[in-house]
Amino acid sequence: MQTGTAKTILICEDDDNLRQLLRVVIGPGYHIVEAGDGDEALVLASEHRPDLIILDLMMPRMSGLDVLQQLRANAATDGMHILVMSAWPDAVEAARAAGADAFLQKPFEPDALTALVEEALGAPE
């Protein structure tokens, strides 16, 4: 479902404001898909085949770690680059163990997020 050559990013975050912030910081160079919880994220990941998933750990119903494990368990989504976000610095170990490629602690500097996104996907179109 990609439009043109723009890379797709799936944002999975339950807080509306933070979703908006992520979209603003990442900027217009990428195709962005938003999910408000884990179930939605899994559906959208299969549907859109994003190049990068930005995943919050503390979410309603299904935790970010569960979403991460399910993404890694599924061959179709296993190869995707996953950036985990959490307010808990301690969560980095568990996230890495579950297969996260990068970790970003909340609150974050917009430039730090931009750097991580560019590191994963290259410069925006």
Partner 1 sequence: MRSLSLSTRMIAASALLALLVAGVFALLIHAVLTLDDARDREARSKEVTAAGVELEKLVIDFESGLRGVVLTGDSRFLRPAEAGRRQLPRQIGELERLVAGDPAQRRRVQALRVAIDDYVSDYLIPIGTIARDNPDAVRTSLATEEAKRRTDAIRATFNQLLATEDARAAASAESAETQSRRAIVLGAGGLVAVALLIVLFGLYLVRSTAYPVRNVAAAASRLASGDLSVRLKEGGPGEVGELTHAFNHMAAELERRERELELQNELLRESERKKSELVRIVSHELRTPLASILGFTSVLLNRDAAPEDQRRYLEIIDREGRRLSALLNDFLDAERLDEGHLALDRELIDVGRVVAEQVRLFEGQSEKHKLDMDVRARPLPVHGDPNRLAQVVGNLLSNAIKYSPEGGTVHVVAEQDDGLVRISVRDEGLGIPKELQEGVFGKFFRGDAPASGIPGSGLGLTIARSVVEAHGGRMDFESGRGEGSVFWMELPIAASN
CB of 49 to partner 1, least distance (A): 26
Residue 94 within binding range of partner 1, rule CB under 8 A: no
Phi, psi at residue 68, to the nearest 5°? -60, -45
Q: How far apart are CA 19 and CA 35, in angstroms?
A: 9
- Point out which span in 4-12, 44-52, 66-74, 108-116 binds partner 1 (CB under 8 A): 108-116
* Cβ-based nearer residue to partner 1, 49 or 106: 106
Residue found under tokens 């307010």: 87
User: Per-residue x/- marks for partner 1, 53-92, CB under 8 A?
Assistant: -----xxxx-------------------------xx----
Q: Which of residues 23-52 bind partner 1 (CB under 8 A)?
A: 24-25, 37
Handedness of CA 108, 119, 15, 69 (dihedral sign): negative
Q: Which of residues 1, 5, 75, 111 is near partner 1 by CB under 8 A?
A: 111
Count of CB atoms within 10 A of residue 40's CB?
18
Provide the edge-to-edge strand list for the sheet that holds 52-56: 31-35, 8-12, 52-56, 81-86, 102-105
Residues forming contacts to partner 1 in the complex (CB under 8 A) are: 14-15, 17-18, 20-21, 24-25, 37, 58-61, 87-88, 106-111
